[in-house]
């Protein structure tokens, strides 16, 4: 009989990879996230055996309908993005979920937790351990996998290290960069998670999961640099605290600050693991750290070949190794009583005689600079004078995604040290609409970071003006 699987935290790094893998094996998968729009943009969201459900555990809602007919739950959520009180949020979420499991027919819960270093009082490690304890208080058998660093495109630790390698030729790091850990390839972790579904669960189990090596953070950074053809110089300093290092990472990388802080705190502990128990239960060839990184770098163009970029060949050709996985972003959101239809009609006029609705002189100056540098900023093609279609070219921008009355995505074609897109989102809230205009930027090296921060004040000024101008023009036509 086909099992019904619930993946709580399907929009996260592991969840977004696990859901399509489970569906490929024929399971019926219910994928949850606080924002279902994020999941709906995934290519796998249209599969017949995948259902997307909104679930925000912080709201303490009734989960009986979501848990109905579910055989196995994958619990993959964490709350580090909630700020300093993330531990309370995370444990409250677990308590709510555990309590509602007691009245469900769920047979097994598989929880992805964290390795536990000896003597650690880190909030991140404490929260992960207590979450497992709370989930075991339900009447459901819990299988907990404790992992350290997961190697793959999108893994927060891996992306921090890759950004550091690509953006900084000289690195001043905390002395604890020489602590040891046991990284595991995403491919190996997913194999364990899927294989657990085929093994009868009769009692609570806790397994460490680890790759075949015990290796320092410094050695990992050096391996990434070697595979990327970069030279790095690492200077460990005992006076550099994890808190200060995390502030530096906020500038260098786009990994969320609270996550980066937790990761840096974790660097100060040896995260050794004994993966022999699960390897005996579920044997598989384990990739070395170097093999896992090489495989990740070889497949990284899949980042661009996705719904987010409209599977656009130009986006794919622009992408270069070393571009940051997590983008920088800046924008403005405005509430309005103007209809979504009116906002959409106005947005489609971008690049016509309306220009960019606000501060057109700044757009023209940038386009002129690009043209003089040999760019294609003056290339224009519209399939219709007052409507937009996929593939249309508006100055330096190419339409790579759109949904009537909801969404427009433009690929940046100007010469710049990175890859960017400009998005217009209309969200109908019933009593009002939200218009959001936002730039997303994947910087290429240190020059890409400088470019972003140099333009950020202008972005904030322009996008605020654009949203207001669009609404004003709509009201003038009413």
Tens of pLDDT, residue by residue, the chain (478 residues): 568 999 999 988 899 999 999 999 999 999 998 888 788 878 788 888 999 999 888 888 889 999 999 999 999 987 666 666 778 888 999 999 999 999 999 999 999 999 888 776 777 788 889 999 999 999 899 999 999 889 998 888 888 888 888 877 777 777 778 888 999 999 999 999 999 999 998 999 999 999 999 999 889 999 999 998 888 888 887 777 767 777 777 777 776 666 667 677 777 788 889 999 999 999 999 999 999 999 988 887 777 777 788 888 888 888 877 788 888 899 999 999 999 999 999 999 998 888 899 998 888 888 888 777 777 766 777 888 889 999 999 888 999 999 999 999 999 988 889 999 999 999 999 999 999 999 999 988 788 888 998 999 999 999 999 999 999 999 988 7
Which pLDDT score, from 0 to 100, does residue 256 have?
Answer: 67
- The dihedral sign for the CA sequence 121, 125, 129, 130: positive
447-454 own/partner pairs: CB under 8 Å, 24+ apart: 447/417, 448/167, 448/323, 448/324, 448/416, 448/417, 448/418, 449/167, 449/251, 449/252, 451/416, 451/417, 451/418, 452/328, 452/418, 453/251
Reading the block at residue 427, the tokens are: 């969200």
Burial class (CB in 10 A: 0-12, 13-18, 19+), 214: middle
> Distance between CA atoms of 44 and 139, rounded to whole angstroms?
32
| pTM of structure | 0.86
177 DSSP 8-state letter: G
Query: What does DSSP assign to residue 359?
Result: -
Q: Which residues pair with 184 in a beta bridge?
A: 150
pLDDT of residue 83: 60
How far apart (Å, rounded) are the C-alpha atoms in residues 402 and 341? Answer: 14
The CA-atom distances, in angstroms, between 337 and each of 44, 341, 406, 431 are 34, 12, 15, 7
- Whether the CB-CB separation of 31 and 19 falls below 8 Å is answered with yes
CB-CB contact of 18 with 74 (8 Å): yes
* 134-148 burial code (b ≥16 CB/10 A, e <16): bbbebebbbbbbbbb
- Closest by Cα among 124, 111, 291 to 215: 291
């Amino acid at each position: 009989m086909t099992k019904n699987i619930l993946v709580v935290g399907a929009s996260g790094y592991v969840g977004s990879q696990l859901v399509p893998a489970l569906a490929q094996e024929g399971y019926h998968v219910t994928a949850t996230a606080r924002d279902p729009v994020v999941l709906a943009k995934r290519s796998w969201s249209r599969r017949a055996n995948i259902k997307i459900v909104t679930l925000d555990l912080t709201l303490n809602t009734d989960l009986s309908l979501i848990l109905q007919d579910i055989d196995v739950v994958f619990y993959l959520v964490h709350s580090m993005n909630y700020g300093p009180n993330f531990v309370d949020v995370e444990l409250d979420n677990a308590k709510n979920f555990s309590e509602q499991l007691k009245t469900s027919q769920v047979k097994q819960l598989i929880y992805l937790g964290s390795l536990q270093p000896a003597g650690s009082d880190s909030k991140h490690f404490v929260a992960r351990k207590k979450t497992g304890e709370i989930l075991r208080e339900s009447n459901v058998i819990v299988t907990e996998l404790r992992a350290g660093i997961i190697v793959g495109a999108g893994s927060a630790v891996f992306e921090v290290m890759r950004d550091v390698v690509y953006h900084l030729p000289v690195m001043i790091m905390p002395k604890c960069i020489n602590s040891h850990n046991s990284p595991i390839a995403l491919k190996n972790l997913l194999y364990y998670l899927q294989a657990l579904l085929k093994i009868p669960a009769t009692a609570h189990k806790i397994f460490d999961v680890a790759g075949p090596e015990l290796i320092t953070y410094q050695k990992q950074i050096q391996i990434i640099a070697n595979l990327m053809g970069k030279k790095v110089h690492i200077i460990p300093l005992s006076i550099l605290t994890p808190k200060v290092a995390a502030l530096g990472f906020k500038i260098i990388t786009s990994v969320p600050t609270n996550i980066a802080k937790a990761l840096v705190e974790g660097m100060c502990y040896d995260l050794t693991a004994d993966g022999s128990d699960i390897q005996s239960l579920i044997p598989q060839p384990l990739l070395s750290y170097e093999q896992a990184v090489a495989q990740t770098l070889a497949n990284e163009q899949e980042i661009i070949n996705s719904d987010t970029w409209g599977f656009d060949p130009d986006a794919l050709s622009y992408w270069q190794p070393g571009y940051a996985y997590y983008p920088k972003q800046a924008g403005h959101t405005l509430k309005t009583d103007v209809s979504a239809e009116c906002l959409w009609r106005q947005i489609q006029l971008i690049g016509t005689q309306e220009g960019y609705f606000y501060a057109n002189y700044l757009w023209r100056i940038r386009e002129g600079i690009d043209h003089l540098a040999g760019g294609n900023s003056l290339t224009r093609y519209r399939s219709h004078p007052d409507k937009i279609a996929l593939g249309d070219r508006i100055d330096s921008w190419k339409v790579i995604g759109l949904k009537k009355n909801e969404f427009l995505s433009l690929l940046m074609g100007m010469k710049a040290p990175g890859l960017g897109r400009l998005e217009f989102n209309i969200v109908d809230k019933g009593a009002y609409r939200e218009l959001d205009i936002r730039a997303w930027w994947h910087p290429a090296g240190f020059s890409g970071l400088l470019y972003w921060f140099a333009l950020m004040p202008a972005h904030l000024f322009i996008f605020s003006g654009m949203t207001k101008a669009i609404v004003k023009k709509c009201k003038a036509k009413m």
